[in-house]
Chains A and B, each alone.
Chain A
Amino acid sequence: MSLGQRITDDHQLARLLQIGVVLEEVVESRAHHHLDSFDAGDRDPAVEALLEDAADESAAHRDRLEALVADLNAETVPYEEINALVEAQYAQTAPEDFDDLLYDQLCNEETAYKFYDDLIEAIEASDTEFSIDRERVIGVLVEIREEEAEGVEEVTDLMEANR
């Protein structure tokens, strides 16, 4: 996100929060697809736990973002729709092995962190009067960003342990 860019109205804020919801839905859906793709004899409990936590966390983030979007009188794309889109493209984008899978998960966490970090900065730089409380929005985004930072650490630790 360009630091020179500011959010100019409710519509743009809602649009960016909608994108956040979709990013979370993609993470959740891909985590479930990764879990489903494991063969019975090819399971790694630590990786499975990581993916299950990631899916749960994304669902929780999605709920919090959806509440903000609803208060801006906008709608979000239902999870089932994004899940179907992930399903349609999964064969072409699926990780080839555990290393690839962990890297995919790291990209998810890092991308989410960057997205929320930029969004917070853009809201703080904006002098727009939004129809919802700015401090509430920033508060939610800061908490989510913190959990994404923890997620990056968890994946990095697991990658280190698997070396």
Chain B
Amino acid sequence: MNTAEQYLKAIYLAQRIENGPAATGMLADMLEVSPASVNEMIGKLEDRGLVDHEKYKGATLTDEGIRRAEDALQTYCIIERFLANVLEVEDFRGEATALEAVIDDTVAERLDTIIDRRSECPDCFDADADKCEYLTVPADPAD
């Protein structure tokens, strides 16, 4: 997943949490980058027709932006499920975030052949819990 896709995913989740445009500060916190970096990338995504940006309100994904963000979120969900259920990694969220940038979509597709993922993915992704609502993890510290 490249950097632009990680931003699209973050905007998608921030919009869900806020039920409105994604604010720069929130995106900076989610992505652990500076607000200036967020603004720069949002400008690029806007030029590519993936995001609409309104000053003082925030970023809103276009239809094409939503489609790409949903693909990215599916890939993230595959990585989380793989880490949690196959490799039994306790900190599956932290490691998924670290690995999403280094796991190619095609690799995620192969891993998906051993993952029990719902057809409605990524609608069932719980943005607040940062995991699929159906993902069950033994001794999940967040539960």
Residues of chain A touching chain B, judged by Cβ–Cβ distance below 8 Å, are 1-2, 4-5, 7, 12, 15-16, 18-19, 22-23, 26, 30, 77, 81-82, 85-86, 88-89, 93, 107-108, 110-111, 114-115, 118, 122
> Quick check: A26 and B114 within 8 Å, CB to CB?
yes
CB contact between B113 and one of A1, A26, A77 (< 8 Å): that residue: A26
Please state if A1 and B106 are interface contacts (CB–CB under 8 Å).
Answer: no
Total number of residue pairs linking A and B with CB closer than 8 Å: 73
Q: Is B139's CB within 8 Å of the partner chain A?
A: no
Instruction: Bits for B113-125, please: 1 = Cβ < 8 Å to A, else 0.
Output: 1111000000000
Cβ contact within 8 Å between B110 and A12: no
Is the CB of B33 closer than 8 A to any CB of chain A?
no
Known: A1-B104, A2-B2, A88-B116. A77 touches B110 (CB 8 A): no
User: Once the chains are docked, how many angstroms separate the CA of A108 from the CA of B109?
Assistant: 10
Chain B: CB-nearest residue to A75: B87
Q: Is the CB of B87 within 8 A of A23?
A: no
The answer to whether A2 and B113 touch across the interface, beta carbons within 8 angstroms, is: no
CB distance from A13 to the nearest CB of B (A): 11
- Which residue of A is nearest B85, CB measured? A85
Chain A, residue nearest B6 (CB): A2
What B residues does A12 contact at CB under 8 A? 98-99
Assess the B110–A23 pair: CB atoms within 8 A: yes
A93–B104 contact, CB under 8 A?
Answer: no
Q: By the criterion of a CB under 8 Å from any partner CB, how many residues of chain B are at the interface?
A: 22
Q: Which listed residue (B86, B107, B114) contacts A111, Cβ 8 A?
A: B107
Distance to closest chain B CB from A28 (angstroms): 12
State the CA gap A108–B101 with chains docked (Å): 21
15 extra interface residue pairs, beta carbon distance < 8 Å, beyond A81-B86, A107-B110? A2-B1, A5-B101, A5-B102, A7-B102, A12-B99, A22-B86, A22-B111, A26-B114, A30-B113, A88-B114, A107-B106, A111-B107, A111-B109, A115-B104, A118-B102
Are A89 and B113 touching (Cβ within 8 A)?
yes
**Inter-chain contacts of B102 with A (CB < 8 A):** 1-2, 5, 7, 16, 118, 122
Output the least CB separation between B34 and chain A (Å). Answer: 16
Q: Tell me which of B3, B99, B103, B106 contacts A110 (CB under 8 A).
A: B106
Inter-subunit contact B113/A86 (CB<8 Å): yes
Q: Which residue of B lies closest to A122 (CB)?
A: B102
With A and B bound together, what is the CA distance between A1 and B100 in angstroms?
8
- Which A residues lie within 8 Å of B116 (CB)? 88-89
Q: Of A15, A16, A122, which is in contact with the most chain B CB atoms at under 10 Å from its CB?
A: A15
What are 27 A-B pairs with beta-carbon distances under 8 A?
A2-B1, A5-B101, A5-B102, A12-B99, A15-B95, A15-B99, A16-B99, A18-B87, A19-B82, A19-B103, A22-B82, A22-B86, A22-B111, A23-B110, A23-B111, A77-B87, A86-B113, A89-B116, A93-B113, A107-B109, A107-B110, A108-B110, A110-B106, A111-B104, A111-B106, A114-B104, A115-B107
